[in-house]
Every structure is written in C-alpha cells, then in structure tokens.
Amino acid sequence: MENNQNIIIRIDDRFIHGQVTAAWTKKFGANAIWVVNDKIASNPALKQLQVMLAPPGIAVEVLKVEEAAIKIKNVNNNLKILMLFENPVDVLAFIEKSGVNVEWVLLGQMGYRAGRVKVEKTFDIGPEDHKALLKLLDMGIKLYYQQLPDFPPKPLDMAEKIRSIKF
C-alpha cells in the first residue's frame, strides 16, 4: 500500500475519533479531514461535533457525498485529505460521481448489525456493502484492511475474501 495518493479513503463508521486524530492523520501526512456522510452533513449538531473532535492544525470539512464529489475536482494539489466514509456504498458513489482516480481504499471499522457478516475483526458487511466492494474491486481498486496504523495492512487475501462471501 503506497502512500502516493493525495486522497486517502478510509471506511470507519466512527468517523473522527481518537485513532484518527492521534494516528491516521500522522501516518498519511494528512493536512485535511473530510467526513463524507449525508446524515452528518445534514445535522448541524453532528457536524459541529466532528469539527470539534479534529486534531489542531487539521482542516475539517463535513460534506454530503454529492458535495464531496464536486469539491474534490477543485482541490489544491498541496492538500492531502483523509476522507472518512461510513460504508462502501458511499465510497463507490463518491468515486463514480467524482471520477477521481483511486488506487486503494482502506477498510477500517464497520461494526456488526443484523444481516452483516464478518470480513475481518472490526469489519462487517451487509449485502449492499458487499455489492459496492465487488464493484470497487472490478474497477481495479485495491482493498486493504488495517485496524490501526501500527498494524500491517492486510491486502493479499482481501479481494478473494470479499469475492467468496455469499448473501
């Protein structure tokens, strides 16, 4: 997993939290965080909470998927953005709407809910998530699972593992 993308997409249903503020921004040298989620972007209280949780010196934007897809087209090349998404469906929608070239997506945290199956320790998916991940793989986008920055990413079996899941 090379660190040569100007945008780093991480699926983490906790959005901005301790690991993001203390570790992920440093690992990728991010100078901006975009929380990309229609629900949070539409709720002023939830939006403000995300901004308040951000580390000092890191610019934060809370955007709907559609807004992020438009805004990314005019981003300064000096900006290194850690983009946090709740699920693969939103990631796929962002990539399709923006046309942005993404080499890989980082799978982090999607907690268990009824109807989901476990892919990795902290990553459970439902049928719609599964379809979106398969589409990302078909687009040539690599998927890595990495719970914490200090842990090595798991790339080798991820595509095979996602493709083998049946709903």
Torsion of Cα atoms, 118 then 124 then 126 then 130, to 10°: -90
DSSP letter, residue 140: T
Do residues 104 and 1 touch, judged by C-beta distance below 8 A? Answer: yes
Helix or strand holding residue 75 (H, E): none
> Of 6, 13, 17, 53, which one is the catalytic site residue?
17
Tokens encoding 165:
């899941």
For residue 12, the cross-strand partners are 109
The torsion angles phi and psi of 146, rounded to 5 degrees, stand at -150, 110
Q: Is 17 in the active site?
A: yes
Task: Say how many C-beta atoms besides its own lie within 10 A of residue 38's C-beta.
Answer: 15
CA distance 37 to 13: 10
Active-site residues, by number, are: 17
